[in-house]
Amino acid sequence: MIFARACSLSGHFGSWARLLLLYSCCLLSASAAAAAEPAAECRKVAAQPLSESFRFQPSPAHSQLLEHIPEDARIRSIRQQRFGVFDTADPREDKALYRWANDVHSITREWVIADHLLIEEGETYNPARLRESERILRRLSFIYDASVRPWRVCGDEVDIEVITRDIWTFTPMLSVGRKGGENSFAIGFRDANFLGTGKQIIVQHDSDEERSGNTIRYADPALGGSRWTMRASLADNDDGYEHGLRFVRPFFSIYERWSAGLDLNRTRLEEALWFRGDEVAEFEHQIERVSVFGGIAPAIREDRRVGRWLFGYTFESNGFGFSDSAIPPAELPVDRDYSYPFFGYESIEDEFVELHNFNYLGRTEDVYVGERYDWTLGWSGKNLGATRDQLVVRGSYANTLLVDDDRLWQWNTAVEGFWTVADSRFENFWWTTETRYLHKQSRQWAAYGSLRVDYTDGLTDDRQLTLGGASGLRGYDLNYQVGDRSAVFNLEQRYYSDWHPFRLVQIGLAAFVDVGRAWFEDASNGPNGGVLANAGVGIRLNSSRAEKSSVIHIDFAFPFVKDDDVSSSQVLLTVKSRF
């Protein structure tokens, strides 16, 4: 009524004054009408207790909220909750040492987390993009776990929260290892999340059965806040050097439409040939490699499968010479150069499951359970600078044959090599196929088995197929058997314990049996060249505060098939990427 009365008086003023008054009345009327309309109904979830969020415990309230998100919802806001290494709200971790560790640790910056998300404010809400954002964050070496979930819905708008938890990334390195009767050690430091920026810096001195030297490495998973990654390394070893530089914009998500990269590497090292666990020849190998590559992909299909066309060019030079070793070869490998353009195709099905107590202890694992295959063809020709005319062949196939709450059965195969036109034969052809099966007997017990078969043809004199030590037969020396084909079967009974000493490391146990053999089709493999077998027990240590992909293996193995050169037992200390 007040607005109507004011507007009715406009006739008593001049024309310009009347226009101004009418415009003001319209604005006021519109504001009043908007205020009279009911506000959009909002549903929100109460904040989860900090300790529950820190441990990424399921929240039924957040799950129920998903039912109220309309199909055409848009993301209104994205907030972050970033945790440090220890939960000081938990009395078990509210200790002086843990508080000090949190204070010293540089928590991952907000912009680092934002750089790896597939969602932005204002865009359409897509739950698949939220799930893949979680997987991308969990793949980062400095993130323990991640959750990306809605916490409030107002009409057709949704608010998102991103929860992350850091691991301890600054690590003084002092490590020793033993595998197949050979010792190794490393000293230095590394930081996989320098000052919370996500950059990795490594400075170390290491020594193993083949070489010792110093290494400096820098890696950036989001160069300048972009999707480009960068890795630079410089190594000076007692037998040579390694200089590497790599820029890649990968297919970082299933939705990405293109990829590109450049890889430069120069390496000189002393190669060794093995027989019965002993080095029988050493020589110098110098490698220079340049590769440019890229890929394009159409939009993801409704069945969650994407195909990608790949292309690029590679030049690789391999030169050989005598080193100062006391055991030179009778004849050096022949120098060879490859120079080839290539093209290929890759198909990926977007299928993942979240598992616990599989490759690691007590952590969320994103395990790929879809079908994936790729192939690449290239032509390495003399007119391009290659040593000979060759067809370049590469391909792989992987699939999950069975997956449910208690079982996971996977199979993969890969092949690569060069087909020489002049003499119609393969060079460095290598085919590998492997199947792995895990059966969860309970939350903490699991039976695991794997079978791997390798076949080679036309290996050059600098390459060998070996078996022994950490490569599959833990009761024998490293590189104990050699051949042009091999087969190895591993069976384990695993125990994923809840023991969490000092809230720092989680412990698992394994009892295992290994059976396998490497042999030549038409040549003797020497004494004790038949099927070998061993049994043993092992301890698995997986830090809950450091990189999840570093699982320490301490194995005690006892060979069944022995001769004078085989010890009655082997102790192996290795760091692997899985249980």
Q: Residue 240's pLDDT is what?
A: 83
Q: Nearest-CA neighbor of 495 among 535, 440, 577, 436?
A: 440
- The Cα 161–Cα 119 span in angstroms is 11
pTM of the model: 0.85
Long-range contacts of 270-275 (CB under 8 A, 24+ apart): 270/210, 270/211, 270/239, 270/240, 270/323, 270/325, 271/462, 272/210, 273/329, 273/461, 273/464, 274/464, 274/466, 274/478, 274/479, 274/482, 275/482, 275/526
Q: What is the mean pLDDT of the chain?
A: 88
18-to-6, 9, 15, 21, 449 alpha-carbon distances in Å: 11, 9, 5, 5, 88
Query: pLDDT of 306-318, one tens digit each?
Result: 999 999 999 999 9
pLDDT of residue 211: 61
Residue appearing with tokens 């384990």: 492
Provide mean pLDDT across the span 465-471.
88
The pLDDT of residue 208: 67
**Is a pLDDT exceeding 50 seen at residue 163?**
yes
* Residue in 177, 176, 179, 175 with CA at minimum distance from that of residue 570: 179
DSSP labels, 457-514: ES--TT--EEESGGGS-TTS-TT-EEESEEEEEEEEEEEE----GGGTEEEEEEEEEE
Average pLDDT, stretch 492-505?
93
- Tokens of residue 55, six digits: 């441990």
pLDDT 10s digits, 206-235: 776 566 788 899 999 999 889 999 999 998
Sheet containing 42-44: order of strands: 42-44, 143-154, 157-166, 74-83
Q: What is the pLDDT of residues 50-62, one digit of tens each?
A: 999 999 999 999 9
Question: 514 vs 11, 469, 473, CA distance in Å?
Answer: 100, 11, 6
Q: How far is CA 171 from the centre of its chain?
A: 20
Q: Per-residue pLDDT averaged across 230-241, rounded?
A: 88
Domains, in order of start, for the chain? 44-166 (3.10.20.310)
Q: How confident is the model at residue 182 (pLDDT cuts 50, 70, 90)?
A: low
**How much is the pLDDT for 27?**
42
CA angle 188, 191, 194 (to 5 degrees): 140
Average pLDDT over residues 348-364: 87
Whole-number pLDDT of residue 189: 85
Q: What is the pLDDT of residues 364-389, one digit of tens each?
A: 889 999 999 999 999 999 999 999 99
What is the residue-wise DSSP string for 21-78? HHHHHHHHHHHHHHHHSPPPPEEEPPPPPHHHHHTT---HHHHHHGGG--TT-EEEEE
9 falls in which pLDDT band (50, 70, 90)?
A: very low
Closest by CA position to 574, among listed 555, 546, 548, 549: 555
Question: Which pLDDT does position 33 carry in this prediction?
Answer: 41
Buried b (16+ CB within 10 A) or exposed e, 461-486: ebebbbbbbbbbbbbbbbbbbbbbbb
